[in-house]
Amino acid sequence: MIETKTKDGGTVVVQHDVAALEKIPGAVAPGDAHVMVEGAADGLIKVDSQGAIQAVNPRVCEMFGGTAEEAVGRNVAFLFVGRDFADFLSGGASLGKMYTAKGRRMDGAEFPVEVAVTQGPGRGAGGGFYILTVRDVRGLARLAGPLLQAQKVEAIGTLAGGVAHDFNNILSIIMGYSALLREDLPDDGELRENLDMVERAARRARGLVEQILAFSRASDPVPRPIVAQPVIEEGLGLLRSTLPATIEIRSDIDSGAAKVLADPVQLQQVLVNLCTNGAQAISDGGGDGGGVLDVSLKEVSHTASPGGRPENLPSGRLETLPSGQYLKLSVRDNGGGMDAATAEHIFEPFFTTKDRERGSGLGLSVVHGIVVERGGAVAVESAPGEGAAFDVYLPVYDGDEPALTDTPVTRAPKGRGRILFVDDEEAIVRLGEKILGKLGYTVEGAAGGEEALRVFRRDPQGFDLVITDQTMPGMTGETLIAAIRELRGDIPAILCTGYSQNLGEDEARALGIETLLMKPLEGGELGWAVARALNLAPAS
């Protein structure tokens, strides 16, 4: 039995006959019914057939404010925005029927709810009662944006994987035929200069594809020793073509910057995310969107404080760093800045102060994740009206492994042998014939796996090497190599791919594939891979 006082001094008694429940195995004990109603996590509202409230549990008062006395006797519609009681009965009130609605608190504030309606006994004209179960879904609503953004990121990954193969095929054609042209041009002159620009743009496009795949987690980053200077300068070149012309980028890049152990695509991602964040802060500051981004790169020495807190890092969000040499990448903007409370949360996933259309809340959390994974730290210093300064610290690499460079591959050695070259793109087949033909090989091209298998069956002993693309209609390169190995098990094979999520170098070797080449290829990469496969050059 539940007793509720009305606002005019009366008493409403809600009593349930639970005698029948005692005969049901596992049923609620009579004494527990009151506890369950009073302690329910959802709001419970009992109304008559016209929607007048007869009783509420404490959770209703918590959600909507006010007291039970203020609610009893009023029509339940006053607790919801744009709905009357009849709306909840559309189609008949049945157990489990769920409605979405907006609740209205006593102070007028609105919030999202879900409402389930159950009809009690005593049906008939003017008789019976209903129980409305009301659930506050504000927490779910807050998660809806991040979950939607996560789904978008997943969709980007799927899309990126599908596009990468075709796009890298196009880049293979551009870069391959450019390499052929280079061989016929003098070392200087306007034509050579023009070709250099084409190849530089193609390598930039290749990096963009890698960045998209890395960001969407469709490919795994590969940390290796790199010289950060050219990577950062290349990233600044991309930014200058994408940020508003009203934003000036001033750079101070140390030409003698040390090596770091990192993935070059991820390092550019850190730079691009920080600069994009700074540019948006400048635009949000009002005016015509003009402003300045200062980007610097230099090597610094750091000594950890006795308590583990860095002594010579700027105030703000800090990570504990051991003593040593660090490469410091700084990005400063003259935007509107932020207060300490905001700065405390900026590295949290999906936290953003921007409109949903302008920011996902992922950029700075991605930066933080990349840097910390590489043993570094991110520090931020900001105040309202004074812009923001982000300092990224990455440990200097002091190993003996040479740093990765983005220089064109040298010309491969000449050789002899008959090669079956397979790709579903006719332009790439012709490219392979030209590149390898100039190196002295005899090349027979095939447009697709099925045609290649027919060609190989005619003369299994006549070929010295098979080179095939992986993603082809009808028969994949992996399947083709397996079929060819059934005809001749000792023939070496090279597998080329523009994108493969499930086939890496280890998986390729397990299948007996000597070399896995990622498109797009520099002019000399294919020649060197063939030379190594035919034992004409030392293994790299």
Is the same domain home to 399 and 444? no
| Average pLDDT of every residue of the chain | 77
* 44 token code pair: 């419970």
Domains contained in the chain, number: 3
How do 418-422 and 442-446 pair as beta strands?
Answer: parallel
Q: Is there a contact between 302 and 321 (Cβ–Cβ < 8 Å)?
A: yes
Report helix angle 228-242 to 264-284, nearest 10. Answer: 40
Structural domain boundaries, residue 30: 2-136
Tell me how many degrees the CA angle 197-198-204 measures, rounded to the nearest 5: 90
CATH value at residue 228: 3.30.565.10
Identity of residue 485: R
The DSSP result for 305-322, as a single string, is: -TTSSBSSSPSSS-----
Mean pLDDT, residues 35-46 taken together: 79
Q: Are residues 292 and 390 in the same domain?
A: yes
Q: Does residue 155 have a pLDDT over 80?
A: no
CA distance linking residue 469 with residue 463, whole number of Å: 17
Query: SS3 sequence, 108-147?
Result: CCEEEEEEEEEECCCCCCCCCEEEEEEEECHHHHHHHHHH
CATH number assigned to the domain comprising residue 91: 3.30.450.20
CA 331 to chain centre: 23
CB 260 within 8 A of CB 328: no
Count of C-beta atoms within a 10 Å radius of residue 67? 13
Please name every residue paired with 377 in a beta bridge, in sequence order, or none if there are none. 393
What does the alpha-carbon distance between residue 60 and residue 125 come to, in Å, rounded to a whole number? 28
Q: Which of 384, 408, 432 is the last residue of a domain?
A: 408
Does residue 466 carry a pLDDT above 90? Answer: yes
Average pLDDT over residues 148-152: 59
Considering the domain architecture, whether residues 348 and 403 belong to the same structural domain is answered as yes
Taking the alpha carbons of 47, 53, 54, 59 in that order, is the dihedral positive or negative? positive
Considering only residues 140 and 386, tell me which one the structure prediction assigns the higher pLDDT: 386
| Domain presence at residue 171 | no
pLDDT in tens, 285-312: 654 556 899 999 999 887 776 554 444 4
- Residue 130: phi, psi to the nearest 5? -130, 150
Same-domain pairing of 313 and 440: no
Burial of 44 (0-12, 13-18, 19+ CB in 10 A): buried
Helix axis angle, 190-215 relative to 264-284, nearest 10°?
80
Q: Smallest Cα–Cα separation from 198: which of 177, 228, 214, 226?
A: 177
| Pair type for strands 224-227 and 247-253 | unpaired
pLDDT in tens, 194-244: 888 888 778 777 777 776 666 555 455 668 888 888 888 888 887 887 788
Say whether pLDDT at 480 is over 90: yes
SS3 state of residue 45: strand
Least confident window among 206-220, 339-353, 471-485: 206-220
Do 339 and 427 fall into the same domain? no
CA distance linking residue 74 with residue 56, whole number of Å: 12
With cut-offs at 50, 70 and 90, classify the pLDDT of residue 315.
Answer: very low
Which of 30-39, 230-239, 367-376, 481-490 has maximum average pLDDT? 481-490
Task: Provide the token pair at 19.
Answer: 């005698």
In which band, very low, low, confident or very high, does the pLDDT at 134 lie, cut at 50, 70 and 90?
A: very high
Whether residue 501 is contained in a domain is answered as: yes
Phi (first) and psi of residue 181, to 5 degrees: -65, -40
Residue where a domain stops, chosen among 136, 170, 195: 136
* Dihedral Cα 460, 462, 464, 469, nearest 10 deg: -60
- Degrees, nearest 5: CA angle 35-40-45: 100
Other CB atoms within a 10 A radius of the CB of residue 152 amount to: 12
Does 148 reside within a domain? no
Asked whether residue 350 falls in the same domain as residue 240, the answer is yes
Evaluate whether 129 touches 139 at the Cβ level (below 8 Å).
no
Check whether residue 231 and residue 379 sit in a common domain: yes
CA-based Rg of the chain, rounded to a whole angstrom? 34
For residue 79, give both structure tokens: 């607790």
Structural domain contains residue 173: no
Q: Is pLDDT of 13 > 60?
A: no
Nearest to 44 by CA among 133, 121, 128: 133
